[in-house]
Amino acid sequence: MELIKDLPDRLLFAVPKKGRLHSSCLSLLEGADIQFHRKNRLDIALVKNLPIALVFLPAGDIAKFVGEGNVDIGITGQDMVAEAGSQDKIDEILELGFGKCRLCVQVPVKNGAAKVEDLVGKRIATSFEGISETFFREIDAKVAAANGTAGTDQQKKTELVFVSGSVEAACALGLADGIVDLVESGETMQAAGLHDIETILSSQAVLIASKKPKHPELVQTIAGRIKGVIAAQKYVYISYNVERKFLKEASAITPGRRAPTVTPLEDPEWVAVSAMVLKNNVAQTMDQLESVGAHDILLFSLQNCRV
């Protein structure tokens, strides 16, 4: 890796170098017009059109570098922020809407525990040591208090076993009685003969920033661009003509984010209306507009915006 101390005075932006968030992050950077070329085998890339240096790091390290190092902003998962214990050291600027998953306690479907309290005193395999430690120490204390064994030699303590990968295989291979791991679609969990009995936290990718960034104005600029890209992925721009007497009904269908744009036409009885509408509901919106007399209904995709 190129030495960060040798870089010009640029904003340092950490992004995952690989894994489940990597490709979505690259698409987000492209949409925000952050232009860069990453040379082979190098984990730093200088941005061509902004005074930024992209630093490619493991997602699990990004929160620590942003919270305790010289990195101004970064993209990582909320689960990674929690595992690093960096919640109080960074500012979560924006939820990005991708990389959604749950960190769950999972046990074998056959002969597994029915609830997390049944795992007290047993072995749990995980790559999330910090979160699991906090969670199971609370469960241990709760069960000990209920059994009257708190602070005695009879108090059971759950054993945590760290594994860096293939966590879902730990039960089948005799390493653990349960695991703590991420669940996205659930296919891997089911294939391993597991099911989840408790969700510890829900997670998605987030844009985070240092509490004392060296380039606060540029941080806000990048945050605004990324927010615009995310909004553009959720909305389309709709335009149509409608008679004035039906404008109230049509505007109720397409209220826009704040208000629709209404433009008079040469025919005084008609107006042109345009607004942003949710992409996932656009077919129904068009049907409703047509039912109240709208004509020339057009859709335009959005590449970026400011909302």
pLDDT tens, residue order, the chain (307 aa): 445 565 768 999 999 999 889 999 999 999 999 999 888 878 999 999 999 999 999 999 999 999 999 999 999 999 999 999 999 999 999 999 999 999 999 999 998 899 999 999 999 999 999 999 999 999 999 999 998 888 888 889 999 999 988 899 999 999 999 999 999 988 999 999 999 999 999 999 999 999 999 999 999 999 999 999 999 999 999 999 999 999 999 999 999 989 999 999 999 999 999 999 999 999 999 999 999 999 999 999 998 888 8
Give the residue among 54, 57, 14, 51 at the shortest CA–CA distance from 37: 54
Amino acid, single-letter form, for residue 206? V
Run of H or E including 240: strand 235-243
Instruction: Name residue 16's beta-bridge partners.
Output: 57
State how far the Cα of 47 lies from the Cα of 172, in Å rounded to an integer: 46
pLDDT at 5: 60
Q: Which residue matches tokens 């008609």?
A: 270
Which pTM value belongs to this model? 0.85
CA atoms within a 13 Å half-sphere pointing along the CA-CB vector of 125: 18
Q: Which fold has domain 235-301?
A: Alpha-Beta Plaits (3.30.70)
- The residues pairing with 263 across neighbouring beta strands, listed in sequence order, are 272
Rounded Cα–Cα distance for residues 28 and 8 (Å): 24
Residue 86 three-state SS: coil
Q: Give the max Cα distance, the chain.
A: 88
Place of tokens 């509490």: 211
Q: Where does CATH 3.30.70.120 sit in the chain?
A: 235-301
Give CATH for domain 4-99+204-214: 3.40.190.10
Q: Which residues have C-beta within 8 Å of that of residue 218, sequence separation ≥ 6? A: 11, 50, 51, 52, 72
Residue 258, class by beta-carbon neighbours within 10 Å (0-12 exposed, 13-18 middle, 19+ buried)?
exposed
- Which CATH superfamily groups domain 101-203? Periplasmic binding protein-like II (3.40.190.10)
Listed in order, the ranges of the chain carrying CATH 3.40.190.10 are: 4-99+204-214, 101-203
Task: Answer yes or no: are the C-beta atoms of 9 and 51 closer than 8 Å.
Answer: yes
